[in-house]
Chain A
Amino acid sequence: MALAALGGALLVAAAGALLLGSAGISPRAVLAVLLGGKAEGIEAVVVLDLRLPRILVAVLAGGALAVAGVAFQALTRNPLADPAILGVASGAAFGVVLAQLFGLGATVVAALGLSAFAFAGAMVAAGIVYLIAATDGRLPIQTLLLTGVIVGLFFSSAITVVISVVDFNRLGGVIHWLLGNLGPISGGSLGVFGALSAVGLWLVLGRARQLNLLALGEESAIQLGVDAERLKRRIFVGASLLTSSVVAFAGPIGFVGLIVPHMLRGLLGPDNRLLIPAALLGGGVFLLLADTLARTLVAPAELSVGVITAFCGAPFFVYILRTRFRGIP
């Protein structure tokens, strides 16, 4: 039921995003293009080549980020965990910048290479955060958040170094991308993005029931029959894959993995079997709305979607911190 409602919201948001834009195309013209009537002309180009791919990227990226958020939160047993806050997104971004140094273009092979670099960066960053923050196998909230922020800063600085040293033209558009940018990508890249996200989703959703048990603590989960080490490794890989594919194709967009799961948990409860598919849909709705705002607020110019999510997310983070963790020293 809740999933159907979210699916409906996603369709409405997608329809709205198709109709809105700086080109000012009438709804009738959009419909005509979609129904296959007109495959040429400026309307067709705007709707089919610009708006539709962008909507697909937004839905995919939002869903993947929200699911990654749920996964990292279950893994760390901490509702404040998020791919950006944990530094994983910065690690992936560093991987992407490195990949661009090698001049990877827009082919499918290049898209795979880009994703591989992003994935490696995400795994390295997440591994470093885990090694620093873990004490006796536990991840205390404060240590985890601090470590994530520090590791994130480190990789951001590393990116800055690369950008400063390398000829700027070889990293075309990198600044815009670093802010989170849902520019249209090629069909091949979209396919790679979709496939990687699907694998990440499968890795996480397939263990949703076990993730519920992990909320009781690792020892209790083991005593209920869960192989906690294998579970953690699988979720770790899945969440890093989701994060890194978004970073590779849309840039490090922050806070989606924090806002969407938290709101949905308030509405639907903490059962990951419902929360993960809901986050997939809800994340899509959220990022689509944010991107539509980014496209229309200062039209005909454009904001980066990452700016919008950060403007929403930062106060939200403070809100959760103040309400949920008031008592923690």
Chain B
Amino acid sequence: MRPLVELRGVEFVYRTPQARRARPFRLSALSLEVVPGEVLGVIGPNSAGKTTVIRLLTRVLEPVAGEILLEGASLRSLTRWQLAQRVAVVPQDAPPAFPFSVEQLVLMGRYPHAPGRFFERPEDLAIAREAMAATGILELAPYALESLSGGERQRAALARALAQEPRLLILDEPTAHLDLRYQAEVAGLLRRLNRERGVTILLVSHDLNLAAELSDRLLLLAEGRCVRLGAPEEVLETSLIEAVYGCRVGIESNPKTGRPRVHMDWAGAAAAGRPE
């Protein structure tokens, strides 16, 4: 099967005016294939390069070397709106600057499908309503985003991304700042979207257990390098995770799903400190 996304030796270095004083960051020789229909989890410590991968995949940043292919075509050969028809991002929670309603937000997801039009078409509204129904927020449509809870805003952002009808759905920390119930809701929703609609998902998360449960494969990044790529039980190994995160952990198998489950070894952490 042709990969949906292919990264070939992608390199990136942040070059900003402040770069001399900023801590240098570089993403080195990242090669990767995302298979249609899979859930790929991207994990790693802070400043491992997870957000950079999202920005490269959406051409917010351009690689300094290597190439990114989407369905066999170079990312650079697509216009911004052509790319947005195929790849959608659910960003971390950030309410818009002005009090847009849920429906207005979700309709924004239709922009790349008719970028020259001033108003949305009737079919755009139908698709937006379907996306809101899929995430269970149809009854919230007229309300301002500011007035919603964090979990509801997260689902509105997800509906906006679904309205783009993307082939690849990228989620940036979808459960950060959510309480347990909303975490469970969002996780269930993602699993359903993947299984019932065949949406390919790239899940960036700090939550190793969420990533282990939802993902078919995990990509472990550290300091801009791919440390390991494989099935969750291959990546979430005690010695590897301890080395990459610099702390003691315990990993066992979830008896219900068979997926690995990581927990902090609080007693060991206090004794060991941060080995470096």
Interface positions of A (Cβ within 8 A of B): 77-79, 136, 208-210, 212-213, 215-217, 219-220, 222-227, 265, 269-271, 273
Contact = CB atoms under 8 A, between A and B. Distances in A.
A216 B99 CA distance: 11
A78 B97 contact: yes
Nearest to A207: B118
Interface stretch (B87-95, B239-247, B253-261): B87-95
B100 A270 contact: yes
Contact of A269 (B60, B85, B101): B101
Given A216-B91, A269-B104, 16 more contacts: A79-B97, A209-B119, A212-B104, A213-B111, A215-B97, A215-B100, A217-B91, A219-B60, A223-B88, A225-B79, A225-B83, A225-B115, A269-B101, A270-B98, A273-B118, A273-B119
A224 B84 contact: yes
A120 B234 CA distance: 62
15 contacts: A77-B97, A136-B16, A209-B111, A209-B119, A216-B91, A216-B108, A219-B60, A222-B80, A223-B91, A224-B164, A225-B112, A226-B81, A269-B99, A271-B104, A273-B119
A223 B119 contact: no
Interface in B104-127: 104-105, 108-109, 111-112, 115, 117-119
Contact of B99 (A77, A210, A270): A270
A215 B91 CA distance: 14
A270 to B, nearest CB: 4
B108 A208 contact: no
A270 B55 CA distance: 28
Contacts of B87: 223
A79 B98 contact: yes
Given A136-B16, A208-B118, A219-B60, A224 B109 contact: yes
Contacts of A271: 100, 104
Nearest to B79: A225
A212 B98 CA distance: 9
Interface in B11-42: 16, 18
Nearest to A230: B80
A273 B117 CA distance: 12
Contacts of A210: 111
A265 B101 CA distance: 13
A161 B219 CA distance: 64
Nearest to B94: A217
Interface string B246-271: 00000000000000000000000000
